[in-house]
Structure 1
Amino acid sequence: MSADLYVYYKVRDGDTAALRERIGALQRQLAVAHGVAPQLKHRPAAQDGLQTWMEVYPRVGAGFAAALEQACAQADIGPLLAGPRHHEVFTDLP
């Protein structure tokens, strides 16, 4: 059974360019390795110098979340985040 994985987090305005480059690279890598079609989104307005970003990974299988976390660790995105990454999983209604 596949599911959609949503990951959201805060980013300081000054770190957006560097983070966008790293997230783009890891999403390209995951697309090739896992056959996913990743998306990167953000809220239209920053608040208090922070942006909210969301990564969307539609129709992923079991084990993808672990592969994503490993890719994030290898890309060293942690220092560019303003807080934790939050994961949500949604499935289609029958």
Structure 2
Amino acid sequence: MDCYVYFKTPQAQAAQVLQEQALWQQAIAAQLGCQGKLQRRPEIRDGLQTWMEVYRDVPPDFPARLSALLASQSLPLLNSVPRHQELFVDC
């Protein structure tokens, strides 16, 4: 099962996203034992960038654990934007 998390931020906050993501990915690796991948849509719509975190081969409870971990972190931008989590399975 794979977990996809997407969120949008103003283009002007791209540097802050990258900075917080570096800390966020370290926390995930240390606390959840998972390595994530960060992607971004190439286009900007209405001044917003869409970002995607991808986590491969995770357990069903991963989204809840991920949300709980984020709430415990001091990451102002990532904690302030709506994040959408979805699970997918291979066919």
Instruction: With the length of structure 1 as denominator, give the TM-score of the two structures.
Output: 0.80
Cα distance, 1:8 vs structure 2: 0.8
SS in 1 for 2:45: coil
Partner of 2:43: 45
Partner of 1:18: 16
Where do 5+ consecutive residues of structure 1 fail to align?
Answer: none
Partner of 1:30: 28
Cα distance, 1:41 vs structure 2: 0.2
Cα distance, 1:66 vs structure 2: 1.9
SS in 1 for 2:69: helix
Partner of 1:5: 3
Cα distance, 1:34 vs structure 2: 2.2
2:57 matches 1:59: yes
Query: Aligned residues: percent identity?
Result: 39
Instruction: With the length of structure 2 as denominator, give the TM-score of the two structures.
Output: 0.83
Cα distance, 1:63 vs structure 2: 2.6
Partner of 1:78: 79
Number of equivalenced pairs: 88
RMSD across aligned positions (CA) = 1.5
